[in-house]
Structure 1
Amino acid sequence: MTLFPPTDSNTLLSAATHSARVEFRAISKSYGTHRVLHDLDLNIEPGEFVSLLGPSGCGKTTALRVLSGLEDATSGQVLLGERDVTAVPTNRRDIGMVFQSYSLFPHLTVVENTAFGLRRRGLGKREAVTRAHDALDLVGLDGFASRYPHQLSGGQQQRVALARALVTEPRVLLLDEPLSALDAKVRVQLRDEIRRLQLRLGTTTVFVTHDQEEALAVSDRIAVMNGGRIEQIGTPEQLYERPASPFVAAFVGLSSVVPGEAQGDTVRIWGDVVALTTPMSGNVEVGLRPENVRLVSPEGAAENATVQESTFLGSFRRTVVLTASGHRVAVQHDAAIKPQFGDQVGLALTPVAVTARPRTDSSSAGAATPA
């Protein structure tokens, strides 16, 4: 199922520029002595789609709940537009929310679920139902208006939850891991449709996820969080190509960790010299993307390795090798090349900037680290 083109008379399309700037100013949040958010600063422009990305427990959902008013900040300010809403209750913040759980009323039809927020705001039944049909039209479910939640698939129920959040024409849309309960194919489809719909409506959107592929696919910018702080914020391309820290490099994409010798703004790895994103000197650990490592003939190669496994992934193949120095390295290459277990290969680098951190005595052999 895909989003159906809404009719020209769809009332929600008139709200296409009805969006607000969002600002976190030094937001901190503590539960007793445990501090979850540390002086969080973040600016989101009107109409922007920003993802909060990070592992479980990093504070991303807490930040979203503070923005929504479901949690009170311990200190700091939250602004929507030019308005300080830090002490404003949730129902007066002009936001829409979609959660991981669909939270639909089982005794109400799809259109009644969608119109529920409008009715609570005192809108007449006829107008509320009309606008609910418009919202369902946007998400491709107007033909399901008379059904009940138990008669819908998981993806359809989440579409209803999205329609219910949009029907009130919020200035900001908050999405808290809305796709994590869906199967892989539906998840990708609905992810892309949410982005297309957001672009059409122009609603400022904050999307919480631990899935780096989701964040890369839909975001204008991504804020990578770790330990209650933002490690880096930037476009998907900036985070992937120029991560500001080893944590970002490891979390956004797939990286292998190998030793190198840094000197200023360059680092020597396997006899090759490549640029560093952050200048440093001495022995370092370097993060390498699979697509930036090449398999070459072992004769004359600066670094030799033994093939451990090779996985066919459609248009390309990913091979993991063990270097002579004991480091596991992932290599992405043409699917027509089919290394076998135990094959001897050489390794070389493409000349792109890499991220590194100082190497300590406790550093272990690097391994390919998926997000």
Structure 2
Amino acid sequence: MREAIDAAYVKALAQEILSIDSPSGYCQSVIKRIEQECALYDGEFQRDNKGNGIFTIAGKDRSQTIGVGVHVDTLGAMVRSIDEQGRIRFTPVGGLIWPTADGEYCNIRTRDGRTYTGTFLSLSAAAHVYKDAKSRPREPEQMYVRLDEVVESAEDVRSLGIAVGDYLCIETKTKITDSDFIKSRFIDDKINVASVFGLLKLFAAKKIQPQYNVSFVFSTYEEVGHGAACLPTHIREFIAVDMGCIGDDLSCNERQVSICAKDSSGPYDYQMVSKLIELAKEHQLDYAVDVYPFYSSDASAAMKGGRDIRAALIGPGVDASHGMERTHYKALENTIALLAAYLQEGAIRA
């Protein structure tokens, strides 16, 4: 199955999707692009009231539906205030590791459609000026955004149309190396938009129909905790396809698909996790089973939102989460193959 995955398609789409600005709550552009891609495949695309995209394909048995969740929102920031020197002070959107943002470029998106550029900096950015340039904490209260416009006051900034509540979107610096490493900000979780479409293209090329209907949910508020909290009621089982964790006391590497048995929201469905492990072994996939210590997913949000579902979590191994992230194409390949096997198996139980 893995050899039939269109690697060039997956990597090209990953490059494009990762480069679209989409911090939580500002996902209209990426959802529009996903809707365009869905039009290449047989199915029905809808948007819910929160702006989540939902693409449903028919299964052999149309009486039941499996949900597959991918979140398209990322980390970022929002204008909190503009100081008297014309510096933009900000509030975080999601939990970025802020020392990694020092010196990073960003796009400032105004509500009337204008875009400006800037740079995240420490308030003690110059080593030749500030004694604490190296030691000052890199955290939102101690940082600002330097705007690439001639501004010397708050009024100068406001005259450009920049206001409190405008989004600050960090450049992703996406690069796919000759050795098939994919390094970028926000691999979590837009890389799995590419995984889902790699799966859809595989199914279309091989004329594979899943056992049950499948609704792919592209959620827009996962990073702030409520992305898939209100899943469509027809979904019986839900697989969140998100990043796999790499680090101390964990087994996964950047080339594997990770199967999460438990995260900070609790254990995932025992039978679903067991089936995923069984399929990974049967199809000789490179996989790991792990417990994530500081993690929750769209599946967690759905269960906390009161949905009566069984849920599981898988995804490609990703290094340095919420910082300068990296994975490998092999991890996508293993993720796509495991998801394909699961959807063909027909895992819903009466």
| TM-score normalised by the chain length of structure 1 | 0.24
Q: Give the structure with higher Rg (CA).
A: 1
* Structure holding more strand per residue: 1
| TM-score normalised by the chain length of structure 2 | 0.25
